[in-house]
Amino acid sequence: MVSYKELGLVNTREMFAKAIKGGYAIPAFNFNNMEQLQAIIKAAAETKSPVILQVSKGARNYANQTLLRYMAQGAVEYAKELGWEHPQICLHLDHGDSFELCKSCVDFGFSSVMIDASSLPYEENIALTKKVVDYAHQFDVTVEAELGVLAGVEDEVSSAVSHYTKPEEVVDFATRTGCDSLAISIGTSHGAYKFTPEQCTRDPKTGRLVPPPLAFDVLDAVMEQLPGFPIVLHGSSSVPQEYVDMINQYGGKLPDAVGIPEEQLRKAAKSAVCKINIDSDSRLAFTAAVRKVLAEKPGEFDPRKYCGVARDYMEELYKHKIINVLGSDGKAE
Ligand code: G3H
Ligand code: 13P
Ligand code: ZN
């Protein structure tokens, strides 16, 4: 058993309480490799933003959970080396799908876990979530749960259609499970294709897809039911069109990729939404950089030359999200 406290990590409790009060959101960035982690920590350290490092089941399979956990531990030391005196870094399991997986992360030094039982029937979601909460809370590890279903297809997360969270269920769910935060479905989805062209309109000037607005009425109704309770938004990448264009320009094929407009995320961040999950945007930044460097320098074969550029792109992206979208800069001096 390793306690996250010995590793210099923090859980989400205080982070979320401050974020709700202060009208900003904590960035939750997924990481699978060293370059992503370096970029996240550099961005957080430079902007003095609290940050959540997320590890998905797919990331554990790709990079090995032991290695990822030691990398997160190393991240705390790296942050200090960068001059961030009191780093506020949370290590979080993203989309845990079983009690055993959540328990193994709690036992292994994670400071927060998500149990995503949102695809199960309501009562089964409650039972599994409560089991995870009862275990995690013994070690002061915080637990995120999910109600409602997000659309999207990722390695380990898949559903063709979304179902908005039912506001009339949230009080019963939060009370009976004891969860610390709740991920809700209000129209966001995973991946780089969040809406079909049929769901969007087109900007006549640019020809770009304009997505439909998120269901802020559902968010408002949830907040009315659970005043001051921490709400989480998954599937919150904006799919920056400059990266999509670069990828397409340099041999990729991402037609009509579209995300959540940043002004909608800005609005959400000011509410009880205190954790915003971003993964796809980092994947796009990485891929755009690698494609560009390799297309422009076909003789290059040193991975540091293109992964280093990818890291710079991701760092810029993370800083932009922190400062211009979530407003979490300067909140962890
Ligand atoms: O919510 C899903 C995250 O983007 C993780 O995706 O399962 O492909 O690692 P992944
Ligand atoms: P995106 O695919 O929109 O980046 O969402 C990531 C996410 O929700 C991770 O849990
Ligand atoms: Zn997610």
Determine the distance separating the centroid of ligand 3 and the alpha carbon of 114, expressed in angstroms: 10
157 in ligand 1 pocket by Cβ < 6 Å? yes
Q: How many CA atoms lie within 13 A of 201 on its CB side?
A: 5
Q: What is the pLDDT of residue 305?
A: 98
Average pLDDT over residues 236-256: 97
With a cut of 70, say whether residue 152 has pLDDT above it.
no
With a cut of 70, say whether residue 109 has pLDDT above it.
yes
146 in ligand 1 pocket by Cβ < 6 Å? no
Q: What's the token pair of residue 313?
A: 């792109």
List pLDDT tens digits, range 54-79.
999 999 999 998 999 999 999 999 99
DSSP character at residue 258: B
With a cut of 70, say whether residue 160 has pLDDT above it.
no
Structural domains in the chain, CATH included, are: 4-326 (3.20.20.70)
What is the number of the ligand closest to the CA of 189?
A: 2
Alpha-carbon gap, residue 64 to 86, rounded angstroms: 28
Name every protein residue with a CB atom under 6 angstroms from any ligand 2 atom. 30, 94-95, 190-191, 234-237, 277-280
Q: Whose CA is nearest to atom 5 of ligand 2?
A: 235
Alpha-carbon gap, residue 316 to 314, rounded angstroms: 5
Q: What is the pLDDT of residue 157?
A: 53
With a cut of 60, say whether residue 125 has pLDDT above it.
yes
Catalytic site includes residue 94: yes
Q: What is the pLDDT of residue 253?
A: 98
Average pLDDT over residues 150-175: 79
Q: What's the token pair of residue 257?
A: 């990729």
Determine the distance separating the centroid of ligand 3 and the alpha carbon of 305, expressed in angstroms: 31
Mean pLDDT lowest for which of 50-54, 192-196, 311-315? Answer: 192-196
Confidence of residue 151 (pLDDT cuts 50, 70, 90): confident
Q: What is the pLDDT of residue 161?
A: 66
With a cut of 70, say whether residue 154 has pLDDT above it.
no
| Main-chain phi, psi angles of 159, to 5 degrees | -160, 135
Average pLDDT over residues 201-221: 94
Q: What is the pLDDT of residue 150?
A: 87
Q: What is the pLDDT of residue 159?
A: 63
Q: How many CA atoms lie within 13 A of 119 on its CB side?
A: 14
Q: Whose CA is nearest to atom 4 of ligand 1?
A: 279
Q: What is the pLDDT of residue 162?
A: 72
In the three-class reduction of DSSP (H, G, I as helix; E, B as strand; rest coil), residue 216 is classed as helix
Q: What is the pLDDT of residue 333?
A: 85
CA distances from 69 to 1, 9, 110, 333 (A): 13, 11, 8, 24
Task: Please indicate whether residue 234 or residue 158 has the higher confidence score (pLDDT).
Answer: 234
With a cut of 80, say whether residue 155 has pLDDT above it.
no
Please say whether the beta carbons of 314 and 36 come within 8 A.
yes
Alpha-carbon gap, residue 278 to 283, rounded angstroms: 10
Choosing from 279, 314, 317 the residue with most ligand 2 atoms within 8 A of its CB, the one to mutate for a pocket test is 279
Helix axis angle for 34-47 and 280-296, nearest 10°, is: 110
Confidence of residue 156 (pLDDT cuts 50, 70, 90): low
Confidence of residue 158 (pLDDT cuts 50, 70, 90): low
